[in-house]
Structure 1
Amino acid sequence: MDSKNESAYDFESHWNDTYRKIPVKSLGWYEESPTASLELIGSCYLPDDALIFNAGAGASTLIECLLNDGFSNIVVNDISVSALLELKNNLSTHNHSNVTFIVDDLTKPTSLLELKNVDLWHDRAVLHFFTQEEQRLAYFKLLKKVVNVEGFVILAEFNLEGAKKCCGLPVYNYNAEMLQNYLGPNFTLLKSFNYTYTQPSGNTREFVYTLFKRIA
């Protein structure tokens, strides 16, 4: 896909087709145990009723882990209806009243504009798909609108040494300094580390994981 011609419709159809055609456990970003994310979330010492927002969650196993850990106020977003249906089916043993599902585009939000008082924004492998500057600016505008002062932001994206494409789409690679620049001075970096993720296929992908705190 030519990044110059990307649109909300392109992303929506692409991810719906992906989740319809490929078993979740075979997807290139599937994690049986999202260890790095859980460790960063644990270091935030959030109360059980903290509002946790998972941006572009897909069918992530993280949500089940958070529910198992006792978190009771989780908002899950994706542009793909198919992805969220898969996630909901995988959470069949849990009480869905603790999870709100929102189908929306992070770069052209509608329903997400009603979101507020987010204590933790979590994004693993979503932001790097936004290859246009206007998409990135819209993403961070939404983030800054909804995250509380004293709230946390976890961004885990392909690092500068990482892959340049994923699932047939181009990506935009990051380091911690670049993410800090987009967040601005009201966010302070608490932790950052490079992480090698092993795909179900056995191939590897290089990530940078970051944890920020909003200070103003």
Structure 2
Amino acid sequence: MSQDPQHHWEDVYAHRDPAEVSWYQADPAPSLALITSAVNGDLAAPIIDVGGGASILSSRLAAAGHTDVTVLDVSRTALAASRAQDPTGTVQQVHHDLLTWKPQRRYRLWHDRAVFHFLTGPADRDAYRAVLDQALAPGGTVVLATFALDGPTHCSGLEVARYDAAGLAAELGDRYTLTAHGRHDHHTPWNTVQHFTWITATRT
């Protein structure tokens, strides 16, 4: 990346409507279903959506009765858009670059549909795993989605890494046990299709 992450994503959200970017989901049903299953109906379970930006996922979780939802993003503009969509006013926000973040608490569920496939270098993936290990409680669940092997090679002008389920699970390391995996065909706002791989894994 030719510029720092905060500058890049602030520039993206300053010039584009959040509902018109390729990754926008008007209905984040796949993530909602995976999260609901993972927490097994516990509405007080601490959940964090990393790189959640302007996604409506956090507000949908809050509207469904989840009382401990956090969204982390490097863009203040994206977080402001997310805050405007939260009818409950209960979603907590963290403005930080994920790779240098120092979690102050632990979460039962970690959701990422936005960050990991941008980490094309091993040092960045190592930093990601270090933060994940600090933030996720033992027995907690990771819901992780990236572009599939036949997905896009670039997103928002940046090169991405692509994975199948086995490769994605291997990236998490021995502390995590794969519990489910699948594919999702995401339809962009202009009705093209992006292929995603998703996995869920439990931390031992």
TM-score of Structure 1 vs Structure 2, range by shorter chain: over 0.9
Q: Does 1:203 align with 2:199?
A: no
Q: Does 1:108 align with 2:100?
A: yes
Q: Does 1:83 align with 2:68?
A: no
Task: After TM superposition, give the deviation of residue 48 of structure 1 in Å.
Answer: 1.1
Deviations 1:165-206 (A, max 9, x none): 001111011122222222222211111001110000111111
**What pairs up with 1:61-76 in 2 under 5 angstroms?**
61-76=56-71
Q: Whole-Å Cα distance in 2 between the matches of residues 123 and 154 of structure 1?
A: 6
> Which residue matches 1:120?
109
1:141 equivalent among 130, 136, 160: 130
Q: Does 1:33 align with 2:33?
A: no
Q: Does 1:154 align with 2:154?
A: no
Aligned length: 203
In the alignment, residue 164 of structure 2 is paired with which amino acid? N
1:130 equivalent among 99, 115, 119: 119
Deviations 1:11-61 (A, max 9, x none): 111111111111111111000111111111121114111110110001111
> Which residue matches 2:42?
47
Q: Whole-Å Cα distance in 2 between the matches of residues 181 and 116 of structure 1?
A: 26
In the alignment, residue 88 of structure 1 is paired with which amino acid? R
In the alignment, residue 19 of structure 2 is paired with which amino acid? K
Change over 3 Å in CA distance of 1:16–1:152 after alignment to 2: same
5+ residue gaps in structure 2? none
Report if aligned partners of 2:59, 2:91 keep a CA contact under 8 Å in 1.
no
Over aligned residue pairs, what C-alpha RMSD do you find?
A: 1.3
Report if aligned partners of 1:107, 1:135 keep a CA contact under 8 Å in 2.
yes
Q: Does 1:17 align with 2:11?
A: yes
In the alignment, residue 102 of structure 1 is paired with which amino acid? V
5+ residue gaps in structure 1? none
Change over 3 Å in CA distance of 1:46–1:149 after alignment to 2: farther
In the alignment, residue 59 of structure 2 is paired with which amino acid? E
Task: After TM superposition, give the deviation of residue 68 of structure 1 in Å.
Answer: 1.4
TM-score by length of 2: 0.95
In the alignment, residue 174 of structure 1 is paired with which amino acid? Y
In the alignment, residue 105 of structure 1 is paired with which amino acid? D
Q: Secondary structure at the match of 1:107?
A: helix
In the alignment, residue 21 of structure 2 is paired with which amino acid? L
Q: Whole-Å Cα distance in 2 between the matches of residues 134 and 46 of structure 1?
A: 36
TM-score by length of 1: 0.90
Task: After TM superposition, give the deviation of residue 73 of structure 1 in Å.
Answer: 0.6
Report if aligned partners of 2:73, 2:95 keep a CA contact under 8 Å in 1.
yes
Change over 3 Å in CA distance of 1:60–1:142 after alignment to 2: same
2:178 equivalent among 178, 189, 211: 189
Q: Does 1:57 align with 2:49?
A: no
In the alignment, residue 166 of structure 2 is paired with which amino acid? E
